Amino acid sequence: MRETTDHIVDLIERLGRIARSAQHAEGMKPAQWEALRFLARANRFSRTPGALADFLSSTRGTVSQTLIALDKKGLIKRKANLGDARIKQLELTKEGRAIVNRDPLHMLEKAVASVGEEPGLAENLERILRNIIHQHGNRPFGVCLACRHFRCDGASSHARGPHRCMLSGEPLSDVDSNQICREHEARAA
Ligand code: SF4
């Protein structure tokens, strides 16, 4: 059992090392790729510097430097948040979306796909990740579809989407429902 556990930890470490070394592509730094990936996946409530810092378990200062670099490269833009003018909303630019499509981690996706989808593998890795996040007191993040505040309401014809976040009261589209959120709270199994 111990041997198996050590082996799994070794595999995670080696895969992580390969992933990290790939993240200097396009003249970028790993933290810059991580920020772009987050902005491509996060919902509109979570595309903020603070949520990004929480997601990366990083400091506001470090994230600020990353955002300045991405801004200079023309990969992100900052908009005023309509709900709170003190908070800046972050968005990918057209160039930012294009570079995300060339993400060097796609090679890992291809490698995973090439061995076939192992039922339970993603769930087990997710459980390990959530345990560690919980131990460190960090926010877990997650998609609306698995959140206890999500209400699926196909009958509604609200202009922004047929679903609703019962925490904020905001409508959610199908696209929103698959994006990650800082306020996510896992639904009871
Ligand atoms: S339903 Fe949950 S995950 Fe979705 S926006 Fe609301 S709090 Fe966030």
Distance 178 CA to ligand 1 centre (A): 10
CA gap 144, 164 in Å, rounded: 9
User: At 72, is the pLDDT very low, low, confident or very high (cuts 50, 70, 90)?
Assistant: very high
CA gap 20, 109 in Å, rounded: 14
* Beta bridge pairs of residue 115: none
CA gap 173, 37 in Å, rounded: 20
Pocket of ligand 1 (CB under 6 A): 43, 45, 144, 147, 149-150, 165, 167-168, 181, 183-184
- Nearest CA to 172 out of 44, 19, 38 is that of 44
What's the confidence (pLDDT) of residue 65? 97
Distance 184 CA to ligand 1 centre (A): 5
User: At 1, is the pLDDT very low, low, confident or very high (cuts 50, 70, 90)?
Assistant: low
What's the confidence (pLDDT) of residue 119? 74
Percent of the chain predicted with pLDDT > 70? 94
Burial 108-141 (b: 16+ CB within 10 A, else e): eeeeeeeeeeeeeeeeeeeeeeeeeeeeeeebbb
Residues 29-50 have pLDDT tens digits of 999 999 999 999 999 999 999 9
Q: Domains in the chain, please, with CATH?
A: 2-119 (1.10.10.10), 141-181 (no CATH)
Query: What is the DSSP secondary-structure string of 10-35?
Result: HHHHHHHHHHHHHTTGGG--HHHHHH
pLDDT at 168 over 70: yes
Mean pLDDT of the chain: 89
With residue 126 as reference, give the H or E element that holds it.
helix 121-135
What's the confidence (pLDDT) of residue 157? 47
pTM: 0.85
**Sign of CA pseudo-dihedral 67, 176, 172, 187:** negative
Percent of the chain predicted with pLDDT > 90? 62
User: At 188, is the pLDDT very low, low, confident or very high (cuts 50, 70, 90)?
Assistant: confident
What is the number of the ligand 1 atom nearest to the C-alpha of 43? Answer: 5
Residues 93-151 have pLDDT tens digits of 999 999 999 999 999 989 988 887 777 888 888 889 989 998 988 888 999 999 999 99
Residues with Cβ within 8 Å of 97's Cβ and at least 6 positions away in sequence, in order, are: 40
Cα torsion 96, 102, 69, 58 to 10°: value is 100
pLDDT at 169 over 70: yes
- Nearest CA to 78 out of 41, 39, 29, 38 is that of 39
